[in-house]
C-alpha cells in the first residue's frame, strides 16, 4: 500500500507515492564535489519519462571511485551527491529538497518572503521552531503553544478552536490535537521552567530594587504586585514581575510587609534588596518601616538604609497637579460635558466639523474626553478644546441644547493652566516611561517642576498665584527635601557629574542652604563609595587568603623568603602606603564631563559598561543606584495584565493560575521582546474624533 505525500515546489504540485515496503538504495555521499554543468536528464535509462519534481533540482553524474565509474546524482543548488540506482525510489532526494538543502532554502527565501526569526543568541529566547533533527516534535509543539497562550493572554480553549486545528494540520499532517486541560498542565510546566531560569539569573545579581502596589479585581479580590528591577551582567536595565498574589483584607502595613517578605523568601533574594518604591498610602509607609526593621535586624540593609523607601514620583506629581486643577473645576466641567454631548451623535460631530471647515480651523486634531482621575488626559482634553474654541462658540450659537460653552475668562484661565502643565506632562512621561528610565534623569525633571511652580507663585497674575499656591505647598511637603537618591544618581551621569547638583540646588534651596546641601550629598556619596571599596577589598583578601593557603598546602617544599627579600617587600608596602593613588570616585569627579558625539542619544548604562574596567569600584555602585525606580509604574503595569486575564469571561480563574498568566506572560514577553496591545491603548483610539473624514466628504459635495 502506498502513502501519498504532497510536494510543493516553485511551479509543481504533485503527489508522490512512496512504497513503505521498499528498501532505500540511496546513500549520502560525503566525498568531494565537482562543479560540472550537466544537462538535466529527461529520461531514465529504460526510456521512461521521469515525472518526479525532484529532477528539477538534481542531475546525474559519473565519478571515479577506486578505479571504477560510479553513477550518482548531484543537487544543482548545494552540489550534494547521492548514490542512486536507476528506477529506484526518490524519497531521500525529496527529503533533501524539502528540508536539508540550505542553498535552496536561501534562494526561496529571497523570492517567497519567508519569515526570518531572530537568532537565539540575540534574543535569549528559543522559539523552538523545529524538533530534534529538524523533524516534527509533538512535545515541543505543545510547549510552544503553551508559551503562545501565556505570552499573548489567550484562553486555554484556544487550542480547541476548529480553525486553529485546521491551520496546524494543514501546516503539518503529523500535528495532534491538544485539549484545554493538557495545555493548562503544559502552561504550568512552562511557568515552573521559566521561574527556575529566573532564580538562576538572580544568583548573579548583587542588588535588586522593588516596586509594589495593590489592586482590586472585578471579583473584589485584592491583589498585590511585586516587581524586581535590576541591571544585568550586560548592563541592561531589566524589569520582571515576580509576584501577583491575593491579599486578605484589610490591606494594612503588616499584611503588605508579610506578603512581600514571603515572596522574597520563595525567590531567595531576601538579602539582595536595596530599595522598595511605593505610593504615598499610609499603609505603605508602615509596610516600608516594618521591612526596613527586618533587613536592619539581619544586617542586610543596603546603602545604609539611605534609599530604602522611595516614594512614587508619578503619584506625587498627580497630587500636585490635581490641587492646581481645582481652581478651574467649573471650566473643566463645562468642557467635559460639552465634549460628551458632541460625541454622542455622529450628526452633531459632522455639523461641528462643517463649522470648523467654514472657519478655517484644522480638523486633524482629535476632540477627546478625559478620565478625571488621570490629569494628563484632562490636559489633553484642554488642549483639544482650546484648539476648537472658535468652533465651540459657533456651534453653541446654532444649537440651543448646547449649554456648556465656557465664558471668555474661563477660556483664558484654561489656556494659562494648559500652558503651565506642559512641564508636568514632560516630567510624567519621563517618570512613567515604558522603558523604565534610569535614576539619573529625575533630578533635572524635579528641578523643572519646582522652577515652573515658583515662577507662577511669584507671578503678577492673580490667577497663576492662586493656582500655584496649593501646588507649592504640596511640592514642599513631599519634595522640600530633595531625595539624596536623585542627587547621587544624577552625579553618575558623566555628562553632568557634580554640576547637575550644584546648578539645580541653587534653584531648589535658599542661597544660604546650597553649600551645606551639596556637602551633604557628596558626603553620602563618599560614604557609600567607601563601603563598596571596603567590600571589594575584603573579597580580594578572602580570595588571596584562600589562594595562599592552597599554595602552602601544595608547595610545602618551596624555599622561604630571605631576610633581604622580606625587607624589600616591607619597603614597597610602605611606599605604596605613602603615595596612595586616587580613588575611582576622585578620578571620576576630576575628569571633565563626557560630551556625546554628534548629538546622539545617550545611554548612561552603555557608558558605564564601557568604563567599568576604568572605575571598577565606582561602577558597581553606579550599577546599583541607577537601577532604582522612582515610580510604581512597573508594578501598576501588572494590573493592566491582571485586568485582561481576569476579564468577565475568566473571573473564576484560580489565584495560582492568575499569577501564572500575569508573571509568566511578563517573563516570556520580556525574553522575546514582544508586546501585547493593552486595553488602555485600544481605548485611546476610541477617544479620537475623526473630523477629518467628515471634512473631506463635505468639501467634495
Q: Which DSSP symbol is given to 96?
A: I
Instruction: Tell me the C-alpha distance between 426 and 416, whole Å.
Output: 17
pLDDT in tens, 397-419: 999 999 999 999 999 999 999 99
pLDDT at 24 (0 to 100): 34
At residue 240, φ and ψ (nearest 5 deg) are: -140, 135
Q: At what angle do helices 462-479 and 442-457 cross, to 10 degrees?
A: 140
- Three-state SS for 657? helix
Going from the first residue of the chain to its last (701 residues), give the mean pLDDT of each consecutive group of 10, the final group possibly shorter. Answer: 38 35 36 36 55 81 78 86 77 81 72 45 42 70 92 89 93 90 94 92 91 78 88 90 86 91 94 90 91 92 87 86 88 90 87 89 81 82 91 92 91 91 86 72 87 88 90 82 81 92 85 89 92 81 54 45 62 52 89 83 90 92 90 66 57 79 87 56 41 39 36
- Whole-number pLDDT of residue 218: 65
Cβ neighbours around 10 below 10 Å, total:
12
d(CA 253, CA 311): 15
Q: What is the DSSP letter of 510?
A: -
Which fold, 204-312+632-682? Answer: Nucleotidyltransferase; domain 5 (3.30.420)
Q: Is 650 helix (H, G, I), strand (E, B) or coil?
A: coil
Beta partners for residue 4, in sequence order:
17
Q: Of the candidates 218, 468, 363, 414, which has an alpha carbon nearest to the alpha carbon of residue 696?
A: 363
H or E stretch at 29:
strand 27-29
Alpha carbon separation from 185 to 149, 192, 666 (Å, rounded): 12, 11, 19
Dist CA 266 CA 199 (whole Å): 10
Task: Return d(Cα 696, Cα 701) in angstroms, integer.
Answer: 9
Q: In terms of Cα–Cα distance, which of 673, 653, 643, 664 is closest to 156?
A: 653
Question: Which value, in Å, is the radius of gyration of the alpha carbons in the chain?
Answer: 35
Strands 309-311 and 273-278: parallel
Looking at residue 693, its pLDDT comes to 29
Residue 636 to residue 644: CA distance in whole angstroms: 13
d(CA 221, CA 249): 9
Nearest CA to 490 among 310, 625, 610? 625
For 78, the grid coordinates are: 548545494
Is 159 within 8 Å of 150 (Cβ atoms)? Answer: no
N- to C-terminal Cα distance for the chain? Answer: 71
Q: What is the spatial distance between Cα 169 and Cα 177, in angstroms, rounded to a whole number?
A: 9
The reported pTM is 0.69
If we measure between CA atoms, which residue out of 187, 96, 177, 104 comes closest to residue 138? 177
Which cell is 691 given? 473630523
As a whole number of angstroms, the distance between CA 211 and CA 431 comes to: 14
Cell numbers given for 55: 529532477
CATH 3.30.420 domain range(s) in the chain = 204-312+632-682
> pLDDT at position 654, please?
78
pLDDT at residue 644, as a whole number:
60
Distance in angstroms (rounded) separating the CA atoms of residues 464 and 126: 57
Amino acid at each position: 500500500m502506498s502513502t501519498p505525500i504532497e510536494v510543493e515546489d516553485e511551479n509543481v504540485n504533485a503527489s508522490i507515492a512512496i512504497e513503505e515496503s521498499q528498501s532505500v538504495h540511496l546513500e549520502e555521499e560525503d566525498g568531494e564535489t565537482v562543479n560540472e554543468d550537466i544537462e538535466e536528464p529527461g529520461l531514465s535509462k529504460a526510456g521512461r519519462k521521469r515525472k518526479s519534481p525532484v529532477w528539477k533540482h538534481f542531475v546525474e553524474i559519473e565519478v571515479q571511485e577506486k578505479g571504477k565509474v560510479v553513477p550518482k546524482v548531484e543537487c544543482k543548488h548545494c552540489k550534494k551527491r547521492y548514490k542512486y540506482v536507476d528506477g529506484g525510489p526518490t524519497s531521500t532526494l525529496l527529503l533533501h529538497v524539502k528540508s536539508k538543502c540550505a542553498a535552496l532554502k536561501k534562494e526561496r527565501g529571497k523570492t517567497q518572503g519567508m519569515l526570518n526569526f531572530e537568532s537565539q543568541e540575540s534574543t535569549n529566547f528559543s522559539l523552538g521552531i523545529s524538533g530534534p533533527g529538524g523533524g516534527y516534535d509533538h512535545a515541543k509543539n505543545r510547549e510552544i503553544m503553551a508559551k503562545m497562550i501565556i505570552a499573548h493572554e489567550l484562553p486555554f480553549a484556544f487550542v480547541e478552536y476548529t480553525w486553529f486545528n485546521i491551520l496546524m494540520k494543514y501546516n503539518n499532517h503529523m500535528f495532534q490535537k491538544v485539549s484545554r486541560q493538557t495545555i493548562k498542565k503544559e502552561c504550568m510546566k512552562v511557568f515552573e521552567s521559566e521561574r527556575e531560569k529566573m532564580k538562576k539569573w538572580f544568583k548573579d545579581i548583587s542588588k535588586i530594587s522593588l516596586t509594589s502596589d495593590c489592586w482590586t479585581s472585578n471579583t473584589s479580590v485584592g491583589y498585590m504586585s511585586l516587581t524586581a528591577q535590576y541591571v544585568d551582567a550586560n548592563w541592561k536595565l531589566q524589569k520582571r514581575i515576580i509576584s501577583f498574589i491575593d491579599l486578605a483584607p484589610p490591606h494594612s502595613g503588616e499584611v503588605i510587609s508579610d506578603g512581600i517578605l514571603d515572596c522574597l523568601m520563595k525567590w531567595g533574594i531576601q538579602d539582595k534588596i536595596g530599595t522598595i518604591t511605593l505610593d504615598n498610602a499610609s499603609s505603605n509607609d508602615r509596610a516600608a518601616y516594618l521591612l526596613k526593621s527586618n533587613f536592619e535586624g539581619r544586617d542586610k540593609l543596603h546603602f545604609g538604609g539611605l534609599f530604602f523607601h522611595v516614594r512614587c514620583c508619578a503619584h506625587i506629581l498627580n497630587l500636585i497637579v490635581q490641587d492646581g486643577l481645582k481652581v478651574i473645576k467649573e471650566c473643566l466641567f463645562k468642557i467635559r460635558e460639552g465634549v460628551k454631548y458632541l460625541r454622542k451623535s455622529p450628526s452633531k460631530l459632522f455639523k461641528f466639523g462643517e463649522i470648523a471647515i467654514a472657519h478655517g480651523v484644522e480638523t486633524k486634531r482629535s476632540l477627546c474626553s478625559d478620565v478625571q482621575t488621570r490629569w494628563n488626559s484632562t490636559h489633553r482634553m484642554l488642549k483639544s478644546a482650546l484648539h476648537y474654541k472658535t468652533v465651540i462658540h459657533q456651534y453653541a450659537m446654532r444649537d440651543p441644547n448646547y449649554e456648556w460653552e465656557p465664558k471668555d475668562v474661563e477660556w483664558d484661565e484654561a489656556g494659562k493652566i494648559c500652558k503651565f502643565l506642559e512641564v508636568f506632562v514632560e516630567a510624567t512621561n519621563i517618570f512613567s516611561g515604558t522603558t523604565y528610565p534610569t535614576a539619573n534623569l529625575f533630578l533635572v525633571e524635579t528641578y523643572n517642576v519646582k522652577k515652573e511652580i515658583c515662577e507662577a507663585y511669584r507671578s503678577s497674575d492673580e490667577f497663576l498665584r492662586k493656582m500655584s499656591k496649593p501646588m507649592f505647598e504640596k511640592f514642599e511637603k513631599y519634595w522640600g527635601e530633595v531625595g539624596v537618591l536623585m542627587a547621587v544618581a544624577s552625579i553618575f551621569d558623566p555628562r553632568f557629574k557634580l554640576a547637575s547638583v550644584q546648578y539645580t540646588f541653587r534653584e531648589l534651596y535658599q542661597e544660604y542652604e546650597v553649600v551645606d546641601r551639596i556637602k551633604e550629598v557628596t558626603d553620602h556619596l563618599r560614604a557609600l563609595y567607601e563601603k563598596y571599596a571596603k567590600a571589594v577589598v575584603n573579597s580580594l583578601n578572602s580570595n588571596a587568603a584562600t589562594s595562599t593557603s592552597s599554595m602552602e598546602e601544595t608547595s610545602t617544599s618551596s624555599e622561604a623568603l630571605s631576610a633581604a627579600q622580606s625587607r624589600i617587600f616591607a619597603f614597597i608596602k610602605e611606599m605604596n602606603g605613602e603615595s596612595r593613588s586616587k580613588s575611582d570616585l576622585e578620578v571620576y569627579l576630576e575628569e571633565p564631563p563626557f560630551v556625546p558625539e554628534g548629538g546622539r542619544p545617550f545611554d548612561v548604562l552603555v557608558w558605564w559598561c564601557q568604563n567599568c574596567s576604568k572605575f571598577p569600584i565606582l561602577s558597581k555602585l553606579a550599577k546599583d543606584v541607577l537601577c532604582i525606580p522612582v515610580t510604581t509604574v512597573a508594578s501598576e503595569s501588572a494590573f493592566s495584565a491582571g485586568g485582561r486575564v481576569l476579564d468577565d469571561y475568566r473571573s473564576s480563574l484560580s489565584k495560582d493560575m492568575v499569577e501564572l498568566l500575569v508573571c509568566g506572560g511578563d517573563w516570556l514577553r520580556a525574553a522575546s521582546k514582544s508586546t501585547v496591545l493593552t486595553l488602555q491603548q485600544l481605548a485611546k483610539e476610541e477617544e479620537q474624533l475623526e473630523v477629518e473624514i467628515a471634512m473631506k466628504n463635505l468639501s467634495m459635495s
